[in-house]
Amino acid sequence: MKLPSQAEVALDEFFDGHPVATFAINRHHVITHWNKACEQLLGWTRACMVGTRNQWQPFYVKERSLLCDLIVAGDTNIADHYPGHSHPSTLIPGAYESEDFFPNIGESGHWLHFTAAPLRDAEGNIVGAIETLRDVTERRVAENALRKSRDGLEHIVEKRTAQLAHANDKLEDDIRQLTELNDLLSAAQQQLVQAEKMASIGQLAAGVAHEINNPIGYIFSNVGTLQNYLGQLFDMLDAYQEAEASIAQPAVVTRLRAMRERIDLDFLREDIPALMRESGEGLVRVRHIVEDLKDFSRADNNQEWSRADLHQGIDSTLNIVANEVKYRADVVKAYGDIPEIECLPLQINQVVLNLVVNAAQAMGEQRGTITLRTGMADQQTVKLEVEDTGNGIAPDALSRIFDPFFTTKAVGKGTGLGLSLAYGIVQKHKGRIEVDTELGRGTCFRVLLPIRHTEEQT
């Protein structure tokens, strides 16, 4: 008979002294160790188990592989044998854990948590496996009790939810009325927004008329002068016509020469084309003003997204607001190199108009400067800055400047919708407005607009 070595005796003592139920098998699936904690938990003695391959008997009615058997067998599909109950250990490489209920252990069954790990020789080869068992029945019982409490709580919640639903039904009529009132308010706000746009046009109408009257005035003056010139020319021509028959008479020649010198025929020949040229330029200016006003005031509900030259839109808008601005500030254009952008052009023009007019109205008693600056914010975004040297915005008002109906102007001087309308248009373009201001120094509104428009942005 082979006597056990000192190492084996020491290992047995280690197993027996371990408080956790533990057993081990060799590469042939034969039980080599079965400690006292295992005997107490499962009710099977070491004498009955060591040297056998019956490690399944304490757990199952029919023979089946345990976690340690699967590890020794090198089975990589352990989850298929214990679906929903097993997973790799997060602490021990190559080990697996499992948890299940066993009705045949004890009087009313036990919940057990298994951990099985491989045993390797010096070369790293699997020579067996060790498996530990922990009784987690108390935890499971507590979890079941907690689950029952939760189910009871859910029942209470369902009951209270039903009560709240009943109360909610009573509120539906009020909510419906509030919704109707909100729709009316939204409609009124849209009307006010449109009214703000029309108010802007109305506010500028006198200035536009003044701008039109200036070129028309000197056109009429030039036309009147031209009529006098033409009258004199016609007189001269009549005299030449009368003199055709007697041009050889010295007296007639003298009279014609005197008349030509008196009316300065050479000057008329130079001045008449200049008058006509000035008249043409005036007419072109009138045409531009009228066209810009017509484009700006055109209804844009059905406007389509299109590529537009931002600089051209700014120039057109500045032409419209010229009379509003020219008595308060000098306009400086600092255009950068930017591409065309995909936008709703008339709405962007509205943004420019509101910002420029707002800048002009921000001026104090002294004449100031409004600078319109363009450039690239990044590869996909252009920027437009409208900077003024006005009074600036107070810190307590800065957070509200884009709110509808908020205004710092005197009563009757503004509706408080200009910046709100501009903010809404920029948001519709998936852009943003930034504000940099300081009291006494002025304000800079920075509009950032994407170059490309996509359907997701609408």
Predicted TM-score (pTM) above 0.85: no
Does residue 280 or residue 370 have the better pLDDT? 370
Measured between its terminal Cα atoms, the distance across the chain in Å is: 90
**CB-CB neighbours of 455 under 10 Å:** 6
For range 190-209, the mean pLDDT: 56
Q: Which of 276, 296, 316 is a domain's end point?
A: 296
Question: Is the model's pLDDT at 413 over the cut of 70?
Answer: no
| 86 beta partners | 98
Q: Tell me: do 185 and 156 sit in the same domain.
A: yes
Which CATH number belongs to the domain containing residue 105 in this structure?
3.30.450.20
pLDDT at residue 409 is higher than 70: no
Highest mean predicted confidence (pLDDT) among 91-105, 270-284, 334-348 = 334-348
Q: Which domain holds residue 444?
A: 303-457
- DSSP class of residue 416? S
The reply to whether 230 and 311 lie within a common domain is no
Q: Which two tokens stand for residue 341?
A: 């952008």
Of the listed ranges 73-82, 236-245, 335-344, 408-417, the one predicted with least confidence: 408-417
Does residue 1 lie within any of the structural domains?
no
Q: Please say if the pLDDT value at position 297 is more than 60.
A: no
Neighbours of 420 (CB within 10 A): 22
Q: Tell me what pLDDT residue 283 has.
A: 65
Do 309 and 292 belong together in one domain? Answer: no
Copy the structure tokens of residue 242: 């009368």
Top pLDDT among 410 and 355 is at 355
Structure-model confidence comparison of residues 275 and 374, the more confident one: 374
Structure tokens at 269: 């020949």
SS3 365: coil
Would you state the pLDDT for residue 449?
Answer: 94
363 in a domain, yes or no? yes
Share of the chain above pLDDT 90, in %: 20
* Whether residue 441 sits in one domain with residue 333: yes
- The confidence band for 24, taking pLDDT boundaries of 50, 70 and 90, is very high
Does one domain contain both 431 and 449?
A: yes
Q: Which residue, of 296, 316, 350, is where some domain finishes?
A: 296
Write out the DSSP string of 97-162: EEEEEETTSTTT-EEEEEEEEEEE-TTS-EEEEEEEEEE-HHHHHHHHHHHHHHHHHHHHHHHHHH
Whether 226 is in a domain gets the answer yes
Q: In what order do the strands lie in the sheet with 31-34?
A: 31-34, 21-26, 126-135, 110-120, 96-102, 86-88
85 assigned to some structural domain: yes
A 10 A CB-CB count for 374 gives 18
Domain termination residue (choose one: 296, 327, 353):
296
Tell me: do 309 and 448 sit in the same domain: yes
Position 411 pLDDT exceeds 80: no
State how far Cα 334 lies from the chain centre: 28
pLDDT average, residue stretch 295-312: 70
Residue whose C-alpha is closest to residue 370's, from 317, 423, 424, 432: 317
Mean pLDDT across 142-162: 83
* Region of poorest pLDDT, from 17-26, 82-91, 183-192, 234-243: 183-192
CA angle (31, 33, 118) in 5-degree steps: 75
Are the beta carbons of 68 and 116 closer than 8 angstroms? yes
Kindly indicate the confidence band of residue 77, based on its pLDDT and cuts at 50, 70 and 90. Answer: confident
Query: What would the mean pLDDT of 384-402 be, rounded to a whole number?
Result: 86
Q: Give me the pLDDT at residue 448, please.
A: 94
Q: Do 291 and 205 share a structural domain?
A: yes
Q: Are 38 and 101 in contact (CB under 8 A)?
A: no
CATH number, domain of 446, equals 3.30.565.10
**147 and 67 share a domain?**
no
Q: Are residues 120 and 154 in the same domain?
A: no
Beta-carbon-side half-sphere exposure of residue 54 (alpha carbons within 13 Å): 13
Indicate whether 387 and 324 sit together in one domain.
Answer: yes
Are 426 and 446 in contact, with CB atoms under 8 Å apart? Answer: no
Q: How far apart are CA 458 and CA 454, in angstroms?
A: 7
Does 257 or 101 have the greater pLDDT score? 101
Lookup: tokens for 76: 């990589």
- Cα–Cα distances in Å, from 200 out to 38, 298, 364, 413, 421? 91, 13, 21, 11, 12
Phi, psi of 346 (to 5 degrees): -65, -35
| Mean of pLDDT values over 375-403 | 87
Is 262 a residue whose pLDDT tops 70? yes
253 located within any domain:
yes
In a domain, 259, yes or no: yes
357 shares its domain with 412: yes
Number of domains in the chain: 3
Tell whether the model's pLDDT for residue 251 goes beyond 60: yes
Q: Which of 76-85, 94-103, 380-389, 416-425 has the largest mean confidence?
A: 380-389
Let me know whether 287 and 153 are in one domain: yes
